[in-house]
A and B are shown apart, each in its own frame.
Chain A
């Protein structure tokens, strides 16, 4: 395998839009950015791709001139970033709009503080609003816009001063697939107009749309170059294996992975397929086919596909000597896979209104033991409200919830004992140490002493935290907190597990590890409900429900959803969802 090591990135161009030399940023003893050397030419669409905590936001802030670096140099069009700031448009991660102001007032403010002449303002406002389709809403208050509209308005605000360089920090996070597509369309148009665009994103598929990317982890660049070249350098092919008895096939493949004669170096299990990465795809294909046929399976397909940037990312980590951590299995007690298939919880025509606002409307789902159900949708689509009703935290306005035999009655303490819930934030107490947090949850679930010790140790070893157990949680990086929070929510081995955005902020390795554990719980009979707006995550689920504006627009296995939307198995879920959204949309998003 060719090693993608180009950590210093250069592109021969007369005037570099961005030039970083030995750029470092430390927060106390923590190194957020270490020795970055990057040159971005004018007119490029450049992506910094990596998980939360990779240093993307810090880097963009330095480029925007709102934060000092510790050492090294950052130049924008050969000027200090602070000097060049009027040539730069910076879109922060959280919409930096004034939500009390109207669309028009927001634009006027941005133009005013960035020296835009009145004539230019009038002209650009018309052109921009026309372009993103917001012309008719110009008097609407920004706080009343949908997520997609807000992000488009934020882009218009940034474009008001006609900047030469755009810095976009996660411009599509939290958007529905359709708005995401529209924002990307706009970004491509801007590049065509001759602007330089630098984008920070945790999504590898978005990296694939850039002309060049730098894959980042822990403040360093793992690999950089045009995505297609990085993938080519990998010298491998991805094999997608689909099979009606996926669990059995997975077990066979796991065993095969240990055999020296089968040549695949990466395996990842999704909801209805298994991916293998191999330098020798033809051989692996025939080996796998032989193996599956020998095991008496007949309906399976093994197809070739291009590796993704995520595969490049993991390969680069390995090339740097990274070894995937051993994760001990969860110490299950008295669990049975026999209940698999029984209904754990069922919602019938569930609805929730807050005043005049209908947050959830006629949602019917059933979730079975042994199954991972993914609830997908944009921010504000009603996912969290649905979860809160299913966990008994809020009362539905209409409809009913039936709980299976295993879990008691909704709202009783018996039900709560069988329930595991990891909410998006605030699950852990920042002022307590890791050990204190876990001890608190273990005691709150009234685990007896022997189980408690065993399970707390499991969480600590899963997070590789044994040495840091007496550290205060608030000082740990976000991704690690996320894993501890997951550990805390399963200490009592729940039969029904709700996970609200469990993988947000995790790097690909940690994300795969977490999904392995979630699958393990499902295999032991746990019913798992996962909410996410991360489409990468959706592929890991057995079944999916897509929520749009409070309603369930589609339901089924990932492959079923793709075919139902009229696409191939190999299509991305994003394409499938855009088709579905376009078919069901009632009001402009």
Chain B
């Protein structure tokens, strides 16, 4: 018994003095709790939609008011000139409800009528919720009819981009975003940290290489490996999950190359900073994987994340790449709507490269190497 206490006392003293363990033990659970607790919701709220009331009767107005006062949806920005496809791609509207002219009159006279609900099928969860919402509108409208026994207003539901609401079409492009960031970044981080850990980094410092040349040389290899990984995932996605391009893939190709650069530069930056492979792996996993998983719109819609946290999403490269992927495989609008994604990714790549260069730039062992 005493020896158990001794072992425990020793463990406790060690643990207390190890800042990294302390942070892992208390800060990470808290951060995870906050993130999941306030950010991540499976249940949809405030889904941005566009409601087009072409009828403007008292019944349609009542329906629209009722809809807009609900927690589930929120009003999305929409220009009257936009086509419906553009509305679903460019603005973040997940659905467009159109109430046709004469809708109110039809109901009042008990004539059969319809309203249309165009739903973006690229996000499965939201699409299911919107289907339910459309049915609910139909029921409310039926209740408004004067003699309403067998009277039903059917929504004309049209699911766009993923008409069968196949889950694989939703998940797989998102997986690209995770896979093509994590693995190239890990390889690069370990490669950079290994040189510090083994001391071979002195070879670089005593050579005629500049910091930029050293980084570029390392990056080139892992970007190439990343491209092979991309080709592999793409072909498997096609063979196994039947993933096909919705339009010509030039934007996807450009975005992928830039995304891989960003991932590898991120890895090099972390690896140069970490100096040990273990730390490099931990840092890349925590700093790269969690945000990509939780804050990229991969599974949990970004719209669900409350505004206090949603600014964090702006700094997650995966968010932009997943957006580009979904455009390539589902929306198919190409450069017209998704042009911004490669641009933002290029900014990320530049910032990560600058960071790695800044850390490497002195080409000196720092005093922690004593």
Q: Which residues of A contact B (CB under 8 A)?
A: 27-28, 32, 58, 61, 64-68, 82, 85-86, 88, 90, 92-94, 96-98, 109-110, 113-115, 429, 431-433, 436, 440, 443-444, 446, 472
A-B contact pairs, 25 of them (CB 8 A): A27-B370, A65-B205, A66-B364, A67-B365, A90-B206, A92-B202, A96-B202, A97-B200, A98-B200, A110-B207, A113-B203, A113-B207, A113-B208, A113-B209, A114-B208, A429-B10, A429-B14, A431-B14, A431-B15, A432-B13, A432-B14, A433-B13, A444-B3, A444-B6, A444-B7
Say whether B208 contacts A58, CB under 8 Å: no
Smallest CB gap from A112: residue in B: B207
Contact residues of B: prevailing secondary structure? helix
Say whether B18 contacts A66, CB under 8 Å: no
**Mask of B244-281 contacts with A, CB within 8 angstroms, 1/0:** 00000000000000000000000000000000000000
**Mask of B184-227 contacts with A, CB within 8 angstroms, 1/0:** 00000000000000111011111111000000000000000000
Query: Which residues on A sit within 8 Å (CB–CB) of B13?
Result: 431-433, 436
Q: Contacts A113-B203, A432-B13: A68 and B6 contacting too (C-beta < 8 A)?
A: no
The 6 closest A-B pairs by CB, nearest first: A113-B207, A443-B6, A431-B17, A66-B205, A431-B14, A440-B10
A85-B207 Cα distance, complex, nearest whole Å: 7
A250-B32 Cα distance, complex, nearest whole Å: 68
How far apart are B212's CB and chain A's nearest CB, in angstroms?
14
Say whether B206 contacts A66, CB under 8 Å: yes
Q: At the interface, yes or no: B2 with Cβ under 8 Å from chain A? A: yes
Q: At the interface, yes or no: B367 with Cβ under 8 Å from chain A? A: yes
Which of A58, A115, A440, A443 is B370 in contact with, Cβ under 8 Å? A58
Query: Which residues on A sit within 8 Å (CB–CB) of B129?
Result: none
Query: Which residues on A sit within 8 Å (CB–CB) of B206?
Result: 64-66, 85, 88, 90, 114
A96-B207 Cα distance, complex, nearest whole Å: 13
Q: At the interface, yes or no: B283 with Cβ under 8 Å from chain A? A: no
A64-B205 Cα distance, complex, nearest whole Å: 9
A82-B202 Cα distance, complex, nearest whole Å: 12
Q: At the interface, yes or no: B285 with Cβ under 8 Å from chain A? A: no
Query: Which residues on B sit within 8 Å (CB–CB) of A115?
Result: 208
Query: Which residues on B sit within 8 Å (CB–CB) of A431?
Result: 13-18
Smallest CB gap from A472: residue in B: B17
Say whether B198 contacts A96, CB under 8 Å: yes
How far apart are B16's CB and chain A's nearest CB, in angstroms?
8
Smallest CB gap from B9: residue in A: A440
Which of B200, B202, B204, B370 is A64 in contact with, Cβ under 8 Å? B202
How far apart are A100's CB and chain B's nearest CB, in angstroms?
10
Say whether A92 contacts B364, CB under 8 Å: no
Query: Which residues on B sit within 8 Å (CB–CB) of A82?
Result: 363
Smallest CB gap from A115: residue in B: B208
How far apart are A29's CB and chain B's nearest CB, in angstroms?
12
A93-B207 Cα distance, complex, nearest whole Å: 17
Q: Contacts A96-B198, A436-B10, A440-B10: A27 and B208 contacting too (C-beta < 8 A)?
A: no
Which of A61, A68, A109, A432 is B10 in contact with, Cβ under 8 Å? A432
**Mask of B340-370 contacts with A, CB within 8 angstroms, 1/0:** 0000000000000000000000011101011
Say whether B363 contacts A66, CB under 8 Å: yes
Say whether A110 contacts B203, CB under 8 Å: yes
Smallest CB gap from B366: residue in A: A67
Query: Which residues on A sit within 8 Å (CB–CB) of B207?
Result: 85-86, 110, 113-114
A92-B206 Cα distance, complex, nearest whole Å: 11
Which of B2, B17, B365 is A443 in contact with, Cβ under 8 Å? B2
Query: Which residues on B sit within 8 Å (CB–CB) of A94?
Result: 198-199
Query: Which residues on B sit within 8 Å (CB–CB) of A433?
Result: 13
A58-B209 Cα distance, complex, nearest whole Å: 22
A65-B87 Cα distance, complex, nearest whole Å: 60
Smallest CB gap from B214: residue in A: A113
A432-B15 Cα distance, complex, nearest whole Å: 9
Smallest CB gap from A68: residue in B: B364
Smallest CB gap from B208: residue in A: A115
Query: Which residues on B sit within 8 Å (CB–CB) of A86?
Result: 207-208
A443-B2 Cα distance, complex, nearest whole Å: 8
A64-B364 Cα distance, complex, nearest whole Å: 10
Query: Which residues on A sit within 8 Å (CB–CB) of B18?
Result: 431
Query: Which residues on A sit within 8 Å (CB–CB) of B3?
Result: 443-444, 446
How far apart are A23's CB and chain B's nearest CB, in angstroms?
16
Given contacts A86-B208, A431-B18, A440-B6, 17 further A-B contacts (CB under 8 A): A58-B370, A61-B202, A65-B205, A67-B364, A82-B363, A85-B205, A88-B206, A92-B199, A94-B198, A96-B199, A110-B207, A114-B206, A114-B207, A436-B10, A440-B10, A444-B6, A472-B17
Say whether B200 contacts A96, CB under 8 Å: yes
A443-B1 Cα distance, complex, nearest whole Å: 11
Smallest CB gap from B367: residue in A: A27
B72-108 residues with Cβ-Cβ distance < 8 A to A are: none
How far apart are A393's CB and chain B's nearest CB, in angstroms?
19
Q: Contacts A66-B365, A114-B207: A90 and B202 contacting too (C-beta < 8 A)?
A: yes
**Mask of B155-199 contacts with A, CB within 8 angstroms, 1/0:** 000000000000000000000000000000000000000000011
Query: Which residues on A sit within 8 Å (CB–CB) of B9?
Result: 440
Query: Which residues on B sit within 8 Å (CB–CB) of A444?
Result: 3, 6-7
How far apart are B32's CB and chain A's nearest CB, in angstroms?
26
A109-B203 Cα distance, complex, nearest whole Å: 10
Query: Which residues on A sit within 8 Å (CB–CB) of B204?
Result: 113
How far apart are B369's CB and chain A's nearest CB, in angstroms?
8
Query: Which residues on B sit within 8 Å (CB–CB) of A96?
Result: 198-200, 202-203
Most A CB contacts (10 A, CB to CB) among B7, B199, B204, B207 go to: B207
How far apart are B152's CB and chain A's nearest CB, in angstroms?
71
How far apart are B39's CB and chain A's nearest CB, in angstroms?
35
A90-B17 Cα distance, complex, nearest whole Å: 37
How far apart are A30's CB and chain B's nearest CB, in angstroms?
8
Query: Which residues on B sit within 8 Å (CB–CB) of A90?
Result: 202, 206
A90-B205 Cα distance, complex, nearest whole Å: 11
Query: Which residues on B sit within 8 Å (CB–CB) of A61?
Result: 202, 365
Query: Which residues on B sit within 8 Å (CB–CB) of A440?
Result: 6, 9-10
Query: Which residues on A sit within 8 Å (CB–CB) of B199?
Result: 92-94, 96
Smallest CB gap from B204: residue in A: A113
A448-B227 Cα distance, complex, nearest whole Å: 65
Query: Which residues on A sit within 8 Å (CB–CB) of B208?
Result: 86, 113-115
Query: Which residues on A sit within 8 Å (CB–CB) of B364?
Result: 66-68
Query: Which residues on A sit within 8 Å (CB–CB) of B14?
Result: 429, 431-432
A114-B203 Cα distance, complex, nearest whole Å: 9
How far apart are B186's CB and chain A's nearest CB, in angstroms?
17
Most A CB contacts (10 A, CB to CB) among B6, B14, B203, B207 go to: B203
How far apart are B230's CB and chain A's nearest CB, in angstroms?
25
B265-305 residues with Cβ-Cβ distance < 8 A to A are: none
**Mask of B1-36 contacts with A, CB within 8 angstroms, 1/0:** 011001101100111111000000000000000000
A372-B151 Cα distance, complex, nearest whole Å: 103
